[in-house]
Amino acid sequence: MNDRDLPLPLDDPMPTEPQVASFLREHPEFLTRHPALLAEMRVPHLAGGTVSLIERQVEVLREQQRFLDQGYRELLQIARDNEDLKGRLHRLTLRLLRVRGLKAFLTALREGLADEGRAEISGLLVFARPTTGAGEAIRSFVGEEGPERAAFVDLFSAGQPVCGMPEAAQGVALFGAEAWEVRSAALVPLGCRHWTGVLGAGSRDPDRYPAGLGVEFLAQLGEVTSAILDPYLPQARPRPRKRVVP
């Protein structure tokens, strides 16, 4: 097919822009057949002046490459961050598994959150009473009817950790006198079938636990903490069997 056979939109002496664009899309070989025209075409540059079509194409390709490179760097950083989180969760889990006794566990949890979770302030509330323990170890256990529970109803309903600035009542319940220092926190629901609780990791840095932060690793931490705490808490009582009268 020669140039005269190409269906140029010449019914109108001045084709519209969509007609020209459609023609070039359908006949990409047209500019190949007219290299001189390709070299002569000038495209306005965003910074002023004009550039050749080829130069503009090269510029567009470079912009696309920069965009892809940025996306790749962001994905690589996410992968590195996730690997770091996985390593810190693993070390914290091992630390918690090595201790014996409720009081030692609570101490290891607090220290582990500071070292591996980078939490400057931490808190724990368990809405049950432990079957064993004494002194400081019991302070985190406020019983099933603890008034602090009302501040975490939505957290328990969602069943997933949340990050961001905690509500005032949540901060006071978890962090006590240090609540006013907290600018961001991760709240992790705990529990098994017969008890519930909340683990809090707080920071004075508003960007440490921002809203929208991925919570997969926090959820795993909640599962580990709940599994270790469970043996120290009262188990569900078996229902009495109904007496069958012969």
At 186-238, the pLDDT tens digits run 999 999 888 999 999 999 999 989 887 778 889 999 999 999 999 988 775 54
- The total of structural domains in the chain comes to 2
Provide the domain limits for residue 62. 25-87
Q: What is the DSSP string of 68-83?
A: HHHHHHHHHHHHHHHH
CA distance 48 to 25: 27
Same domain? 62 vs 127? no
Is 237 within a domain? no
Say whether both 119 and 48 belong to one domain.
no
The whole-number pLDDT of residue 137 equals 45
CATH assignment at residue 183: 3.30.450.40
pLDDT in tens, 130-178: 876 544 447 789 888 889 999 999 999 999 999 999 999 999 999 999 9
Shared-domain flag, residues 224 and 173: yes
Question: How far apart are the C-alpha atoms of 80 and 74, rounded to whole Å?
Answer: 10
How is residue 27 annotated by DSSP? -
pLDDT at 236 (0 to 100): 56
Residues above pLDDT 70, as percent of the chain: 77
Average pLDDT for residues 119-128, to the nearest whole number?
A: 94
Give per-residue pLDDT as tens, 50-104.
555 666 677 777 888 888 888 888 888 767 777 887 888 899 999 999 999 888 9
The whole model's pTM is what? Answer: 0.66
